[in-house]
DNA sequence: GTCGTTCTTGCGAGGCTATGCAATAACAAC
DNA sequence: GTTGTTATTGCATAGCCTCGCAAGAACGAC
């Protein structure tokens, strides 16, 4: 069933410990959570809450939206996903967050990519020094226009 | 770090031309738009869509939400407001945008303040130089924690 | 003032996300 | 296997925002 796509060093294996991670915290392993984890294990990069709900429903039509969102909250606490908001304000979850990063999104075409701590360092340090504000890079969103896109006429 | 922007030098006068601005574009001056403009004229800094709806309803209980949101879209096209998304993903409108600025929001207490072009210059220039990406400062959101707040336990 | 054009509104419906609550299922202990 | 505890689920509901559509209002022309 699994294709030969080792991709990240973690891969599906990284999810194997999820059940234990839940147990250790006195949380439970349920069929619903299993399904959600399965779907996430096959996802790399970003996924919105709505997308996840949809994919889960494709496998089990009885999937309940609120359960998915609540599970996502739990997984975030366990560090399996991290959420932020896209340029359109929608929830966006990062699967297997290897390195926390900010998001850059084109307001024209919707293209998105990442920004690392290194890229943002000057600004992050400035805010920390000036205001004592600790930036959470995963919650940084930078909107703008990529080379091919023009700002909307005004 | 103030939570809102002080009253602008423009004040109500800046809104006086709104009716003409609409006319010039073949758009119409309606009682609903007048109400919304009135409320906005008394607002400085930020306001969320929901807040605006609420304030309009306080003056005219018959206010319809979708009308407010649509008017906001029109006003944005005319340059009277500018929208972005708060740390929680909610819509947020900037009234009388004098200087475009980015938003910094505390994920703990919700406090928010502004970041100017000057503050972000290094990063903006880097993105422009490296990727040809033109940052829209009004669509930049920086989440993190202010001195009094701690990241959620994990 | 009347008329016609077309922009707006009101309204209903729907999508995404969050939350409260009672019923249920997981798990540990026996 | 049974039981008790309590985390979870399912469901209903609600809030915010968007969209389609038909009825209505604003504006310009006469």
Task: State pLDDT tens for residues A44-100.
Answer: 788 999 999 999 999 999 999 999 999 999 999 998 998 888 777 778 898 876 667
Residues of chain B neighbouring A92 (CB-CB closer than 8 A): none
Residue A3 (CA) to nucleotide D13 (C1'), in angstroms, measures 43
* pLDDT for residue A22 is more than 70: yes
Determine, for residues A133 and B85 on separate chains, whether the beta-carbon distance falls below 8 Å: no
Lowest mean pLDDT among A1-10, A131-140, B93-102: A1-10
Burial class (CB in 10 A: 0-12, 13-18, 19+), B33: buried
Burial class (CB in 10 A: 0-12, 13-18, 19+), A40: buried
The better pLDDT of the pair A147, B19 is held by B19
Min Cα separation A84/chain B (Å): 8
Half-sphere exposure of B79 (CA within 13 A, CB side): 9
Residue B5 (CA) to nucleotide D22 (C1'), in angstroms, measures 42
Determine, for residues A85 and B85 on separate chains, whether the beta-carbon distance falls below 8 Å: yes
* pLDDT for residue A27 is more than 90: yes
Residues of chain A neighbouring B1 (CB-CB closer than 8 A): 131
Candidates A152, A15, A145, A154; CA nearest to A80 is A15
Residue B53 (CA) to nucleotide C1 (C1'), in angstroms, measures 37
Candidates A52, A133, A149; CA nearest to B143 is A133
Residue A51 (CA) to nucleotide C25 (C1'), in angstroms, measures 27
- CA–CA gap between residue A39 and residue A31 (Å, rounded): 12
Which helix (H) or strand (E) segment is B121 a member of? helix B117-131
Task: Decide the pairing of beta strands B46-47 and B112-115.
Answer: unpaired
Of B134, B135, B146, the CB nearest to A133: B146
B77 — contact with chain A (CB < 8 Å)? yes
All structural domains of chain B with their residue ranges: 11-95, 102-144
Query: Closest nucleotide to residue A29 (Cα to C1')?
Result: C26
What mean pLDDT, rounded, does chain B reach?
Answer: 83
Task: State pLDDT tens for residues B50-79.
Answer: 999 999 999 999 999 999 999 999 999 998
Burial class (CB in 10 A: 0-12, 13-18, 19+), B103: buried
For residue A154, name the pLDDT band (cuts at 50, 70, 90).
very low
B150 — contact with chain A (CB < 8 Å)? no
The residue of chain B with its CA nearest to that of A86 is B89
Give the mean pLDDT of A98-125. 80
With both helix axes pointing from N to C terminus, report the angle between A65-78 and A49-59 in degrees, rounded to the nearest 10: 120
Task: Look up the CATH number of domain A102-144.
Answer: 3.30.1490
The better pLDDT of the pair B145, B4 is held by B145
The residue of chain B with its CA nearest to that of A147 is B132
Of B123, B140, B145, the CB nearest to A143: B140
B27 — contact with chain A (CB < 8 Å)? no
| Cα separations in angstroms, A65 against A30, A86, A88, A96, B36 | 15, 20, 20, 21, 35
CATH class held by domain A13-95: mainly alpha
CB A131 within 8 A of CB B102: no
Protein residues closer than 7 Å by CB to strand C: A 23, 28-31, 48-50, 53, 65-66, 69-70, 90-91; B 22, 26-28, 30, 32-33, 62-64, 66-67, 70-71, 74
Asked if strand D contacts A28 at the CB level, meaning under 7 A, the answer is: yes
* pLDDT for residue B83 is more than 50: yes
Which CATH number, 1.10.10.10, 3.40.50.20, 1.10.1760.20, 3.40.50.720, labels domain B11-95? 1.10.10.10
* pLDDT for residue A2 is more than 50: no
- CA–CA gap between residue A117 and residue A121 (Å, rounded): 6
């Amino acid at each position: 069933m699994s294709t030969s796509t080792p991709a990240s060093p973690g891969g599906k294996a990284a999810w194997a410990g999820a059940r234990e991670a839940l147990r250790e915290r006195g949380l439970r392993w349920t069929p619903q959570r299993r399904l959600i984890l399965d779907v996430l294990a096959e996802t790399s990069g970003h996924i919105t809450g709505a997308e996840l709900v949809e994919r889960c429903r494709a496998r089990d039509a009885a999937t309940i939206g609120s359960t998915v969102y609540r599970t996502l909250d739990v997984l975030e606490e366990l560090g399996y996903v991290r959420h932020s908001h896209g340029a359109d304000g929608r929830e966006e979850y990062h699967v297997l967050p290897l390195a926390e990063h900010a998001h850059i999104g084109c307001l024209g075409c919707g293209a998105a990519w990442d920004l690392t701590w290194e890229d943002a360092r000057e600004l992050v340090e400035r805010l920390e020094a000036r205001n004592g504000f600790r930036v959470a890079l995963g919650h940084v969103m930078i909107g703008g226009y990529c080379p091919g896109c023009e700002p909307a006429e005004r």
